DNA sequence: AAACCGGGGCG
DNA sequence: CGCCCAGGTTT
């Protein structure tokens, strides 16, 4: 009995694909459970979504496990010591996320009775929650029909509709297309399915179009190279900045550390003393930024690439006799460096001066 | 609208 | 190892 039937809508194709291929992740509720009315804990959804901003699933997993073990509820996190939160976040990058995470937990715990808002608008009013994260939490935790648009979804819709407008100008057009696609039934699963599709099939390079549930609907496939989508505005070159870092070790085997200012680059994180990072430093050996006069030995440079500049740090080392001259810093025993709020660039500098400092 | 924010993964 | 990827806030 060959009845003519309407072609399946993209949303149905994606949901069917998701039911077969969804990934089990620590912050997720599987589709069969969700079908039984089980929703994931908004706290865990929020925490995972903030961690996943600009960060891969693989990198997030261990941090998510650590945070949910140490702070099982949003109220636990709100009561936590901010310094402990920064230490636990060290290595994940974009440290303003950690500061806003703590602020947001406090607002939810002490201003909303420990209950997350269940609407996009209510969520977006919280620190560290923008368009994407508000829509994602509303959809995933509360099954709201919100249009979830992240980098993965941008790729999927730009290819599906062959959008020629470059990002970021194309965002509103893309969001409207996602809104039009989003089904009344299972909007939370749909949002996760679209992001999974972009992460695993509709990838930036070498997409697996043969496996894509939307390949029959795709306006790019067969007409142009999918890798050329989404179109993007040209980006500008990264400038180079130079600086000096000073790794002082005392007789007890401790390293001199200090805390950076609360805002801006690596805000609130720990560092070794050093110079400002500017276009050029005076001469090959500028010791004027050293924390105290000493027999500073040059031990090479480390390079670290930030979002908008490349840093080349000249590293100096010295052994000091006393336990004074710490200034506004403190002496941290080498064996306990791992627990400090040290960003990756500072670990590189310390390792350059003292190869065994982190006991790899 | 543009600038400011890190780190990891892939070819 | 160069290149690419990815949201929110601030200015």
Q: Which sign does the torsion angle of CA A216, A222, A228, A231 carry?
A: negative
Nearest to A92 by CA among A52, A132, A128, A131: A52
Domain count for chain A: 2
Residues A220 and A182 in one domain: yes
Provide, in whole angstroms, the distance separating residue A5's CA from nucleotide C2's C1': 51
Residues A167 and A50 in one domain: yes
Write down the pLDDT at residue A147: 96
Boundary of a domain, candidates A198, A228, A258 = A228
Per-residue 3-state assignment (H helix, E strand, C coil) for A142-193: HCCCCCCCCHHHHHHHHHHCCCCCCECCCHHHHHHHHHHHCCCCCHHHHHHH
Write down the pLDDT at residue A280: 66
For the residues A340-349, what does the mean pLDDT come to?
91
Q: Which nucleotides of C are covered by protein (CB under 7 A)?
A: 3-9
Higher pLDDT, A2 or A148: A148
Question: pLDDT tens digits for A235-261?
Answer: 777 888 888 999 999 999 999 999 988
Residues A295 and A195 in one domain: no
| pLDDT over threshold 70, residue A4 | no
A97 preceded by cis ω (within 30°)? no
Q: How confident is the model at residue A307 (pLDDT cuts 50, 70, 90)?
A: confident
Inter-residue contact A312 to A241 (CB < 8 Å): yes
In a domain, A360, yes or no: no
For the residues A313-326, what does the mean pLDDT come to?
84
Inter-residue contact A196 to A23 (CB < 8 Å): yes
Nucleotide B6's nearest residue (CA vs C1') is A93
**Which nucleotide C1' is nearest A227 CA?**
C4
Ranked by mean pLDDT, the top range of A77-81, A267-271, A309-313 is A77-81
Q: Pairing relation of β-strands A310-320 and A254-259? A: unpaired
In a domain, A274, yes or no: yes
CA A358 to chain centroid: 24
Provide, in whole angstroms, the distance separating residue A104's CA from nucleotide B3's C1': 24
**Which nucleotide C1' is nearest A58 CA?**
B8
- Least-confidence region, from A14-18, A98-102, A235-239: A235-239
Write down the pLDDT at residue A130: 96
Nearest to A47 by CA among A93, A105, A109: A105
How far apart are the C-alpha atoms of A217 and A198, rounded to whole Å?
15
Provide, in whole angstroms, the distance separating residue A124's CA from nucleotide C4's C1': 29
How far apart are the C-alpha atoms of A117 and A56, rounded to whole Å?
26
Q: Look over chain A and give the mean of its residue pLDDT values, rounded to a whole number.
A: 91
Please name every residue paired with A255 in a beta bridge, in sequence order, or none if there are none. Answer: A249, A332
Residues A252 and A194 in one domain: no
Task: Write out residues whose CB is closer than 7 A to strand B.
Answer: A 54-56, 58-59, 90-96, 205-206, 236, 264-267, 304-308, 343-345
How far apart are the C-alpha atoms of A65 and A53, rounded to whole Å?
17
Higher pLDDT, A23 or A190: A190
Write down the pLDDT at residue A327: 80
Higher pLDDT, A38 or A237: A38
Task: Write out residues whose CB is closer than 7 A to strand C.
Answer: A 53-54, 94, 96, 100, 127-134, 150-152, 154-155, 198, 204-205, 232, 305, 307
Write down the pLDDT at residue A283: 47
CATH number of the domain to which A271 belongs: 3.90.79.10
Terminal CA-to-CA distance of chain A, rounded, Å?
67
Nucleotide C2's nearest residue (CA vs C1') is A305
| pLDDT over threshold 70, residue A205 | yes
Residues A169 and A296 in one domain: no
Provide, in whole angstroms, the distance separating residue A140's CA from nucleotide B4's C1': 30
CATH number of the domain to which A72 belongs: 1.10.340.30
| pLDDT over threshold 80, residue A1 | no
Residues 6+ away with beta carbon under 8 Å from A284: none
Provide, in whole angstroms, the distance separating residue A110's CA from nucleotide C8's C1': 23
For the residues A44-58, what does the mean pLDDT come to?
95
Residues A159 and A206 in one domain: yes
Angle, helices A151-160 vs A171-181, to 10°: value is 80
Q: Catalytic positions of A, please? A: 49
Write down the pLDDT at residue A312: 86
Higher pLDDT, A329 or A325: A329
Please name every residue paired with A301 in a beta bridge, in sequence order, or none if there are none. Answer: A314
Nucleotide C9's nearest residue (CA vs C1') is A128
Residues A164 and A97 in one domain: yes
Parent domain of A347: 240-353
For the residues A163-190, what does the mean pLDDT come to?
94
Nucleotide B3's nearest residue (CA vs C1') is A308
| pLDDT over threshold 60, residue A285 | no
Provide, in whole angstroms, the distance separating residue A55's CA from nucleotide C1's C1': 21
Write down the pLDDT at residue A359: 67
Per-residue 3-state assignment (H helix, E strand, C coil) for A219-259: CCCCCCCHHHCCCECCCCCCCEEEEEEEEEEECCCEEEEEE
For the residues A45-71, what does the mean pLDDT come to?
96
Residues A224 and A246 in one domain: no
For the residues A118-139, what does the mean pLDDT come to?
97
Residues A184 and A244 in one domain: no
Q: Which nucleotides of B are covered by protein (CB under 7 A)?
A: 3-11
Residues 6+ away with beta carbon under 8 Å from A235: none
Q: Pairing relation of β-strands A254-259 and A330-333? A: antiparallel
Question: pLDDT tens digits for A255-284?
Answer: 999 998 888 888 889 999 998 888 765 544
């Amino acid at each position: 009995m060959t009845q003519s039937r309407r072609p399946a809508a993209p949303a149905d194709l994606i949901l069917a694909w998701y039911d077969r291929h969804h990934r089990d992740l620590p912050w997720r509720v599987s589709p069969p459970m969700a079908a039984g009315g089980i929703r994931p804990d908004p706290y865990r959804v929020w925490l995972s979504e903030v961690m996943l901003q600009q960060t891969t699933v693989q990198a997030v997993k261990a941090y998510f496990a650590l945070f949910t073990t140490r702070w099982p509820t949003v109220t636990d996190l709100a009561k936590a010591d901010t310094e402990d939160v920064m230490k636990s976040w060290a290595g994940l990058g974009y440290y303003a996320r950690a500061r806003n995470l703590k602020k947001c937990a406090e607002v939810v715990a002490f201003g909303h009775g420990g209950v997350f808002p269940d609407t996009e608008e209510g969520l977006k009013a919280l620190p560290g929650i923008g368009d994407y994260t508000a829509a994602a939490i509303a959809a995933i935790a509360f099954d709201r029909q919100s249009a979830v648009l992240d980098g993965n979804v941008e790729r999927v819709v730009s290819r599906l509709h062959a959008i020629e407008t470059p990002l970021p100008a194309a965002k509103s057009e893309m969001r409207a297309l996602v809104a039009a696609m989003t089904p009344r039934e299972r909007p939370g699963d749909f949002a996760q399915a679209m992001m999974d599709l972009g992460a695993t099939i509709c990838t930036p390079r070498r997409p697996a179009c043969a496996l894509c549930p939307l390949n029959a609907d795709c306006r790019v496939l067969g007409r142009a190279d999918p890798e050329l989508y989404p179109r993007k505005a040209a980006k500008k070159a990264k400038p180079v900045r130079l600086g000096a870092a000073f790794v002082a070790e005392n007789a007890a085997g401790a390293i001199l550390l200090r805390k950076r200012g609360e805002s801006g680059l690596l805000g609130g994180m720990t560092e070794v003393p050093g110079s400002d990072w500017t276009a050029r430093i005076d001469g090959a050996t500028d010791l004027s930024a050293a924390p105290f006069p000493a027999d500073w030995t040059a031990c090479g440079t480390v390079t670290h690439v930030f979002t908008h500049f490349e840093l080349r740090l000249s590293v100096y080392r010295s052994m000091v006799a006393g336990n004074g001259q710490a200034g506004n810093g403190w002496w941290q025993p080498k064996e306990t460096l791992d627990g400090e709020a040290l960003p990756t660039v500072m670990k590189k500098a310390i390792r350059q001066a003292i190869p065994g400092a982190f006991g790899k």
